[in-house]
Amino acid sequence: MASFSNVKQLFDIQGRNYIVTGGAQGIGFAIVHALAQVGANVVALDIQTKPNADFDSVAKQFGVNIRYVQADVTDEKGLGAAFQTAFGILGTVHGLVTCAGIALEKAFEQTSWAECRRIQDVNVTGTYFSAQLVAEQFKKQGTGGSIVLIASITSHTVLPQHRMSAYGASKGAVRMLSQALAVELAGNGIRVNSISPGFIDTEMTQEVRNKNPVMVDIMNKTPPLKRIGTRDDLMGAAVYLLSDASSYTTAGDIAITGGLHVQMALDCQLAF
Ligand code: NAP
């Protein structure tokens, strides 16, 4: 008789401790909520002075420790101090999800040095050093751990009607960073993976739809699954990658796009 692991136990992260950057709203907050739902404790770091109105009720609702620490991922000293605060709150840390990010929809020729630099600084450098800080902590603990970087569909393909060269360049870098770290840190038992969301209904994409109503149709109709993604669509992948269910998964990327990252490639092939 074959002997298998208990699958429920593999997904069980109850009582584990995580850090989520960009956790004040949007995808980051959804991941904070998902982790709380399955019984994990979380420190959310974000540049906003305070998180969204629902944040404070999450700890009480699920009986876990959910805390907020304001931090700018581009501020070397401030980020280091924020991670130390998080380590102090959580004790042993089991994982990190990096959601802090900014986007810019602007023509290549009109994008300024300052705009391009800011995007790379937040999305790439901020992610890089968040991962470095938690990796150092894992090594100090001697525990290993799981790091999940939020990349983007724009690291796979170019979106219809979008001009996001600086953003796409930053997300391509995030996805490659995940692979480079996965190989470099594997010997320490640290796994690194990325999630590439497609169009997800958050404050970030709401702003895009508000500015340019044609985006409502593009976001709802271009994915093969014929709808925009919701934050719920990302929760399972985050829990999976942080849990022991993914213990042999590293250097991976989960594209959660309703199929759009492949559809775009097919459209290009058909055009030739
Ligand atoms: P969001 O709603 O704007 O949330 C991002 C959070 O990160 C915000 O609270 C933001 O604060 C914060 N942040 C920005 N700069 C920061 C900094 N320097 N230090 C710390 N925190 C900072 O965006 P989202 O849609 O949830 O996106 C989360 C991640 O998923 C981003 O990396 C984004 O690129 C990626 N993504 C999103 C989609 C999508 O369709 N929504 C698709 C693909 C990838 P402010 O609001 O003050 O800037």
Q: Are 100 and 126 in contact (CB under 8 A)?
A: yes
Q: Whose CA is nearest to atom 48 of ligand 1?
A: 102
| Ligand 1 centroid – CA 18 distance (Å) | 18
C-beta of 73 in contact with ligand 1 (< 6 A): yes
Domains of the chain, residue spans: 7-201+230-257
User: How does strand 253-256 pair with strand 41-46?
Assistant: unpaired
Confirm or reject: Cβ of 99 under 6 Å from ligand 1.
Answer: yes
Q: Is the CB of 170 under 6 A from ligand 1?
A: no
What CATH number has the domain spanning 7-201+230-257? 3.40.50.720
Alpha-carbon span 127 to 141, nearest angstrom:
21
Q: Is 128 considered catalytic here?
A: no
Q: Which amino acid is at 204?
A: M
Give pLDDT tens digits along the chain (272 positions).
789 999 999 999 999 999 999 999 999 999 999 999 999 999 999 999 999 999 999 999 999 999 999 999 999 999 999 999 999 999 999 999 999 999 998 999 999 999 999 999 999 999 999 999 999 999 999 999 999 999 999 999 998 888 999 999 999 999 999 999 999 999 999 999 999 999 999 988 898 899 889 889 999 999 999 999 999 999 999 999 999 999 999 999 999 999 999 987 667 666 65
pTM: 0.97
Which atom of ligand 1 lies closest to the CA of 22? 7
Atom of ligand 1 nearest to the CA of 72: 19
18 exposure class (CB count in 10 Å sphere: 0-12, 13-18, 19+): buried
